Structure 1
Amino acid sequence: MIESLAALASSSGKTASIFGSGEFGLALPDVRQTAPAAGAATFGDLMSQVAGQMRDTVKTGEAAAISGIQGKASAQSVVEAVMSAEQTLQTAVAIRDKVVAAYLEIVRMAI
């Protein structure tokens, strides 16, 4: 993920993929833009999209696990879905930890 963020910072285009390969299909507006374009996504909108996609991935993993228990899905598809859900959950926890750390740093700043 660090490499993806470095690639985002060095990008010269108008938009860049947040996660490098565009696996979530989200684009981040260029931070060098001076004025927001009409209808441009805000940071809150972007985080809402990411959270929604993370929720969907975890739900898919849960559904695959239930299907596997019922014998309706192969072991390979269950493992793939559960591993994807686990990776998504770990990413969500890492993002949450970074947001909390940034908030605590801001709170400690002298005004």
Structure 2
Amino acid sequence: MINPIEGLGLFTQQTDGASGDNVISKALGAVANVAGTAVAGPGFGEIMGSMASDAVKSLKGGETASIAGIQGKANTREVVDAVMEAEQTLKTATAFRDKIVAAYLDVTKMQI
């Protein structure tokens, strides 16, 4: 924990009133506790894999809905919704791919 500068007397006058504890010391202690604990989450590769599988699932759903519509098993609204969702997914994946390619090209242009 970071100790307050005691010679200046700036931090000893700010208390929370009820218990008389130093407000700054409490805040710094909370920040130190938060900084000391790392949150373990999914990695970049896992997120990218999940995104790709969701995109494929959406595209397959659009194809399935189209076939069901042709066979008369699905109404027009369901087919249109599924196809539009698949189209949006494809546009997002294409834009994402373009950004990755542009970033790769920028990295390859850097001088070492």
Structure ranking higher in helix proportion = 2
| Cross-structure match for 2:85 | 84
Deviation at 1:41, TM superposition (A): 1.2
| Distance change in 2, residues 1:36/1:99 (3 Å) | farther
Which amino acid in 2 is paired with 1:86? Answer: E
Q: Which runs of 5+ in 1 are unaligned?
A: 1-32
RMSD over aligned Cα atoms: 1.8
Deviations 1:15-71 (A, max 9, x none): xxxxxxxxxxxxxxxxxx898645x31111101001110110110000000000001
| Distance change in 2, residues 1:36/1:58 (3 Å) | farther
Question: Matched residues, percent identical?
Answer: 50
Q: Which runs of 5+ in 2 are unaligned?
A: 1-34
Q: TM-score, normalised by structure 1?
A: 0.65
Structure ranking higher in strand proportion = 1
Larger radius of gyration: 2
Q: Distance in 2 between matches of 1:110 and 1:34?
A: 37
Which amino acid in 1 is paired with 2:94? Answer: V
Q: Distance in 2 between matches of 1:46 and 1:36?
A: 18
Note if 1:67 corresponds to 2:68.
Answer: yes
Q: Distance in 2 between matches of 1:46 and 1:81?
A: 24
Q: TM-score, normalised by structure 2?
A: 0.65
